[in-house]
Structure 1
């Protein structure tokens, strides 16, 4: 199908989230890069290679000198149970950008000096956001110089960032000298105030015994030490008071105020506090008129605070101060929706790992890149917004439970026809109505591999949320 491409003269840089870049060792062997079917095949053996990527103490904003380097962004579904959510990858987003806008990237075999205005920036996501912001700055200055010399002297940079990629870009813009050449920073589910998920990984670790059914046998991974060595994961931990039940304390406390929590590197946690504080205090973006356009997934059940038990284990809660503010399933709305001076947050009801492919988000991108009218999902839009909960991973032969909730302010919330479409199949599987706006079904017969579950109460694609589930073979 032919598309009339909308004119974009700026340099567009796509920055993926944590674990969203492929890594190779000094000999060129890929040490992180399984996606799609490769993720299924390698899930049981990844522990060894990832443990070898653990960082020594004291790296902070440096590089460990181990020869590991980024070699490209993740193309398809990727993630790792107990360490990161499943994310849909970036091939589809990059293809959509090329089809709909005058954006072109270098192809394999092209001279690396060929001007291009669509860049996918891969980076070593183990390392601190400051380190990667420096690498981003080097790449942007080089690419923008080529693009301006090719006949676009007024071009600036527009960043399209997923998750932690937004923190890398913001560090470059605010504190790395990038504000003067940046026009806009679009962020999809970026945890500007951190994510409780990161703190749960650091403190609780991956407890194999807690995996359900046959998964403890099928996924014999324990990557706790690897995760705890990463400056990046500490920088993703909450920069807001999120812990309750602290002995001798009342109300919510910051993680840095609580002693005795296992798994936290005090030096890295303190440095993460300074990282967020420095970004909040910067005025560079505002001084140069940089616009931040945050996309904040909403209505999905999202861990936001946690209760500390007597042994320092954290039990996540979906509420803060008794209120369920929702989020995208991984990043609370209070974290992804507020950054600097810019547009109000764009609020699709979508899962974190699928924000970059959501049709409504892409309507928004049309406005941010080329000035076309943006589709805004918010109060007053005639959609049936649903919260969706699906496990990241299940064992072959075990049911995959899909649980859906409709808010009470949704018209007819207790009598909806909620359905799920698996992998784009023609038929829709209806969910059982449990009353009170709750709907559920157990999907059976899912084959080993990654499956995309589109959940909604209507037939229009922008009315669905896309959840991802990995089915692991029992063989």
Structure 2
């Protein structure tokens, strides 16, 4: 309802982490990609081993001083476009009614959920004392509309079902939340984040060692049947002891499964006492099916080797598979799912959301997005070797008449070089791009009608 408190919970990379005024992840990314990968680049962000659900000691602590506003990525896992326009997408709530919940995204989602509970209770009390000045004719006391992007939804749902948040919640909105985890986390935590070749191995190992200290990344491991063993007819779960994934610590798997089981157990307990088994709050889920997304991880027939990342793809948002984006614990009918064609990093953006969040706050009907003729889709690798050409291509309607081109610019800069897509013998529009080490924004554009699609591409030193 329009008088409710609106709380936005970002996902991994969605909050800016600082210490002594330094943007730690921004510095780490530049150092990691600018030379041969070294663990020293991530030393200021690594947590002590075995932290679990506890807060870190003072020397490991950081301050989350606000939402990120610029695009960024964790190579091989996910990207975030930042959230400069999220308040406008929410219908521009009045001062005091909108709460951006910035937090340390390295920590366990259980700990984040507990901190979210404290913040929401404090802010709801404050807003309840002020709401009469803005909504004197309201039908009831204000509750909470919780809007969660990506992994923020894991903390959000845990807060609601495990920590009592359901008592004051009006609505939960998840935007690309991996309700069943992401198979990419398996590759990330086994040193295969950016590929299997010699060029990528050093970076993958540094990212693995860093990520194994972060409880939040382990809790992204898939909870469903996400492992395929060569020669076996059915996929298996990560906790299948007959085929443990080589290089994946068993304690990481145990923590991920414990996290999901605790949530589902709480939900089932509530289901038995909820009237008609219905949740006391509404749930809306937005996901995407327009981009190839890793759905399963392959093992050799003897289970000793991780297969190359060449198959196991299905529809999704490029990070979260279609099925994982569905909150099956809440939606009574799969048709209630809201679909768009945006990428994972863009799902909290105005274009993907359209007027959905505004309609939700007004209690109006919410429908799925339908891509029109203006929509185009950019295909480019998420990671590539700096200084070596990589290919970008674009798909869309009537491209030959719409001057398709691509602009590549380093993140943090405004200008970039424009390259016109060339049509090959098969009728596909392609361009060859190259750049130095770092994080780049690659954006495809067309005219008549105007359209655009963009992607963060990380270029690393071989």
Could you say which TM-score interval applies, normalised by the shorter chain?
0.7 to 0.9
**Aligned-partner Cα distance in 2 for 1:328–1:290:** 26
For the Cα contact (< 8 Å) 2:32–2:41, is it kept in 1?
no
**Aligned-partner Cα distance in 2 for 1:251–1:416:** 46
Q: Which moved more, 1:129-138 or 1:331-340?
A: 331-340
Counterparts of 1:243-254 in structure 2, within 5 Å, are 243-245=227-229, 249-254=232-237
How far has the Cα of 1:231 moved from its partner? Answer: 2.0
**Aligned-partner Cα distance in 2 for 1:420–1:187:** 33
TM-score (normalizing by structure 2): 0.80
C-alpha deviations, 1:331-363, integer Å up to 9, x for none?
Answer: 100100233334722111111112222514232
How far has the Cα of 1:376 moved from its partner? Answer: 2.3
TM-score (normalizing by structure 1): 0.78
Picking from 11, 14, 26, the partner of 1:17 is 11
Change (3 A) 1:186 1:421: farther
Change (3 A) 1:419 1:207: closer
Counterparts of 1:290-309 in structure 2, within 5 Å, are 290-309=281-300
Picking from 82, 91, 114, the partner of 2:84 is 91
Residue 101 (structure 2) aligns with = 121
**Aligned-partner Cα distance in 1 for 2:290–2:328:** 20
1:268 and 2:255 are equivalent in the alignment:
no
Residue 78 (structure 1) aligns with = 72
C-alpha deviations, 1:169-191, integer Å up to 9, x for none?
Answer: 00001111000111111111110
Counterparts of 1:92-241 in structure 2, within 5 Å, are 92-94=85-87, 96-97=88-89, 100-104=91-95, 116-152=96-132, 154-206=141-193, 210=197, 222-241=206-225
C-alpha deviations, 1:2-30, integer Å up to 9, x for none?
Answer: xxxxx9322111111113222245xx353
Residue 240 (structure 2) aligns with = 257
How far has the Cα of 1:438 moved from its partner? Answer: 5.3
Residue 111 (structure 1) aligns with = none
1:327 and 2:310 are equivalent in the alignment:
no
Question: Secondary structure of 1:257's partner?
Answer: coil
Q: Which moved more, 1:116-125 or 1:127-136?
A: 116-125
Counterparts of 1:57-72 in structure 2, within 5 Å, are 57-67=49-59, 68-71=61-64, 72=66
**Aligned-partner Cα distance in 1 for 2:26–2:376:** 31
Q: Which moved more, 1:448-457 or 1:153-162?
A: 448-457
**Aligned-partner Cα distance in 1 for 2:230–2:196:** 25
RMSD: 3.7
Residue 450 (structure 1) aligns with = 440
Change (3 A) 1:250 1:102: closer
Question: Secondary structure of 2:292's partner?
Answer: coil
Question: Secondary structure of 1:90's partner?
Answer: coil
**Aligned-partner Cα distance in 2 for 1:56–1:356:** 32
**Aligned-partner Cα distance in 2 for 1:163–1:456:** 29
Change (3 A) 1:202 1:289: same
C-alpha deviations, 1:141-186, integer Å up to 9, x for none?
Answer: 0111100011357111112211100101000011110001111111
**Aligned-partner Cα distance in 2 for 1:57–1:18:** 19
How far has the Cα of 1:295 moved from its partner? Answer: 0.9
Change (3 A) 1:360 1:58: closer
How far has the Cα of 1:421 moved from its partner? Answer: 4.5
How far has the Cα of 1:327 moved from its partner? Answer: 0.3
Q: Which moved more, 1:184-193 or 1:265-274?
A: 265-274
Q: Which moved more, 1:301-310 or 1:126-135?
A: 301-310
Question: Secondary structure of 1:296's partner?
Answer: strand
Question: Secondary structure of 2:70's partner?
Answer: coil
For the Cα contact (< 8 Å) 2:211–2:217, is it kept in 1?
yes
In the alignment, structure 2 segments of 5+ residues that lack a partner are 133-139, 272-276, 409-414
Counterparts of 1:26-37 in structure 2, within 5 Å, are 28-30=20-22, 32-34=24-26
1:468 and 2:461 are equivalent in the alignment:
no
Change (3 A) 1:289 1:425: farther
